[in-house]
Chain A
Amino acid sequence: MIAIEHLTKSYGKFKALDDISLSFERGQAISLLGPNGSGKTTLIKSILGLVIPEKGTIKINGSEIKTHWEYRSQIGYMPQIGRYPDNMTIGQVINMLKEIRKDCKQYDEELIVSLGISNFLNKTMRSLSGGTRQKVSACLAFLFSPDIFILDEPTAGLDPLSSEVFKDKITKERANGKLILITSHVLSDLEGITSHMVYLQDSKLMFYKTVEELKLSTGEEKLNKVIATIMLKELPKTIHN
């Protein structure tokens, strides 16, 4: 569904992505992991067309995204920081997006109800807490039932209850054959959701494997143990490199 080939991007002297090649298929839930500044957000933004790559290609459903913009109707994006115009109400923001997406007639408003956003539709964006804003971002990402979900640190500001609601929704969408890309530092939140792991470090792809493979090779059951074991093994190598 998404095919990335030799993607390279640098900001001045700093290389944010170095020759990344990956391919993702329907029904996968992929976790993008890596330390801060390892290029996760740049990778996501390149897929969204917000960052323009230097080298390499990104194909979605076989066609290159370069100059096309229509492909974005298949993507639901939840940004790391959701900031909205101060004086707009939640209802206005939702309506605005609905009006922009005239091509979509059916809305998936499940999260708006289950996250309790429907009770605050008249509140202005300025008055919302960080967590509530994040809930709004989540609702918007799922609103048009896209085929691909790109979620940047989705659970960082959510309370445990909302976080569970949200994770259930992700599991459900994955069962529907959607592709899900998540970045998160909260490994316990990814437990049970993800099928594959992509690990980036120093702008390079370290590995791209299924969770089962990783569990087998490390002999650990819990995701945070798995990753910790890998990091301990891999890190010294990269330092010597």
Chain B
Amino acid sequence: MKTIIKYVLLDLLKNKTILVYTVILAALAVSVLNMDNNNSKGLLSLLNITLLFVPIISILFSTIYFFNSVEFTELLLAQPIKRKTMLLAEYTGVAFALSIAYIAGVGIPVSIFCSGLAAFTLLVSGLFLTLIFSALALLIFVLFKDKTKGIGAAIITALFFTLLFDGLLLSFIYSFSDYPIDKPLLGLISLNPVDLGRILVLLQLDVAVMMGYSGALFKKFLGSATGSIYTIACMLFWIIIPLVISVRVFKKKDL
């Protein structure tokens, strides 16, 4: 397993898309953090950038990478390697490469220009999103045989979680506004990793209340500490569950 991870990483760290992704993240981070003396505002803008870019890039890049390496995967599976090992090694390689890109692009500027728990949680949430959306990409890869359909599914998944979900949530709140829906709402928010990432950071910033309904709810019901633990647990599930399903499906897949 280690061998495969090592060589996937060797291949990916020379990949131009990963380099461009790192540079763009770094450029955005530096410019946003320098725009205002108020660190908290800079972090908020950076949070929004992370929430928008990281899911889409992670899922698209990973899906394309998995589909492009189908033939190589086949060749390796003709060696005495378990399917599970192969799949998880490939996932680890890709997720690790994207995480390095995020740490280099956002982590370094953030650690230079600001400090504190909020900055740290921003990095944690970005890393979680990277891991979650590459796990979803893996799931898409094992479920679809055709590359084009797979990429389509990846785009839809990313758009669903970054844009559509909040719209649906709003319409849910609007239509049930006469009822006490605060608690069901908490449950619903756990269904969207992007929202979880947002909440994780917002709980550490004072602007939580200003940043919309979900942030305020979490702060009110859970408080900072329990809220953070809850969101982190949910995000872990968002990594583990797609991976477990992927391994199960892949065991029976015809290549």
Contact = CB atoms under 8 A, between A and B. Distances in A.
Interface of A: 11, 45, 48-52, 69-73, 75, 77, 79, 81-88, 92, 96-97, 99-101, 103, 137, 140, 150
A96 B3 contact: yes
Interface in B46-75: 68-72, 74-75
B76 interface: yes
A150 B15 CA distance: 32
Given A75-B78, A77-B75, A87 B255 contact: no
Interface stretch (B6-14, B214-222, B233-241): B6-14
A71 B79 CA distance: 9
25 contacts: A45-B255, A48-B77, A48-B78, A50-B74, A50-B255, A51-B254, A51-B255, A69-B82, A69-B83, A70-B80, A72-B78, A72-B79, A72-B80, A72-B81, A73-B79, A77-B75, A77-B78, A79-B75, A83-B69, A83-B71, A84-B71, A84-B72, A84-B75, A87-B15, A92-B10
B79 A100 contact: yes
A100 B72 CA distance: 14
A81 B80 contact: no
A48 B72 CA distance: 14
B232 interface: no
Interface string B222-233: 000000000000
Contacts of A97: 79
A92 B253 CA distance: 28
Interface string B144-179: 000000000000000000000000000000000000
A69 B82 CA distance: 6
Given A48-B78, A49-B77, A50-B78, A79 B71 contact: yes
A131 to B, nearest CB: 16
- Most A CB contacts (10 A, CB to CB) among B4, B12, B14, B254 go to B254
A97 B75 CA distance: 10
Given A75-B78, A83-B70, 11 more contacts: A45-B255, A50-B74, A50-B255, A69-B82, A83-B69, A84-B72, A85-B11, A85-B72, A86-B11, A87-B14, A88-B10
- A-B pairs with lowest CB-CB distance, top 9: A83-B71, A77-B78, A87-B14, A85-B11, A73-B80, A99-B3, A50-B255, A96-B7, A72-B80
A11 to B, nearest CB: 8
B77 A50 contact: yes
B254 A88 contact: no
B4 A82 contact: no
B74 A101 contact: no
B183 interface: no
Contacts of A101: 79-80
A103 B81 CA distance: 12
Contacts of B4: 96, 100
Contact of A83 (B72, B77, B79): B72
Contacts of A51: 254-255
A202 B12 CA distance: 42
A99 B81 CA distance: 12
Contacts of A70: 80
A67 to B, nearest CB: 10
Contact of A100 (B14, B71, B81): B81
A72 B81 CA distance: 8
A9 to B, nearest CB: 8
Contacts of A71: 80
B89 to A, nearest CB: 10
Contacts of B252: 52
Contacts of A86: 11, 15
Given A88-B7, A100-B4, A69 B80 contact: yes
